[in-house]
A = this chain, B = another copy of it.
Amino acid sequence: MLYFEDLTPGLSFATASITLSEQDIHAFAKQYDPQYFHIDNVRAEQSVFAGLAASGWQTSSVTMKLVVESEFGRSVANGLIGMGVDKMRWPRPTRAGDTLQACVEVLSGKRSSTRPEYGVVKLRWVTRNQHQEEVMSLESAIWVALRHP
């Protein structure tokens, strides 16, 4: 189990990888981001993406799955309780057939002033495709239980 005290700045964890199909991209978009460049392969060619692109929200949500199921995600004492996300960027789109993998790095930790049994840990997530190109990055703050409150 990983507690607040264990998450020292600089520690990093890799996730497994996942491949997104064209069907996955269409299905997410229909439910959460129904814009033509995420759904219609032909019209998407004429868009700013020059081809079918996954919703940025899908790239982020798929990354959440990878992080939750990683050794890191399964080891954090109380689960991944997010307080919020900053600096989320999608420097290039995820394409059908892309295989995504993420890396989580501990940026900093601070004991909570309001809840003495918890600390707040800042993480940086970076998601890359099979060409090692960044498709998403963000900074996330999570609550983590102290081993010795």
Residues of A in contact, count (CB < 8 Å):
33
Q: Please report which residues of chain A, range 66-114, place their CB below 8 angstroms from some CB of chain B when the two chains form the complex.
A: 68-69, 78-90
Partner of A79, one of B35, B86, B87: B35
- Verify B55–A57 contact, CB threshold 8 A: no
- Verify A32–B79 contact, CB threshold 8 A: no
CB-CB < 8 A to A36: which residues of B?
Answer: 79
CB-CB < 8 A to A48: which residues of B?
Answer: 78, 81, 143
- Verify A56–B82 contact, CB threshold 8 A: yes
Query: How many Å lie between the Cα of A45 and that of B125 in the bound state?
Result: 29
CB distance from A1 to the nearest CB of B (A): 15
Partner of A64, one of B32, B47, B82: B32
- Verify B62–A32 contact, CB threshold 8 A: yes
CB distance from A126 to the nearest CB of B (A): 14
**What are 12 residue pairs bridging A and B, where the CB atoms are less than 8 Å apart in the complex?**
A35-B68, A35-B79, A47-B79, A48-B81, A55-B64, A57-B57, A57-B61, A57-B64, A82-B90, A84-B89, A84-B90, A85-B88
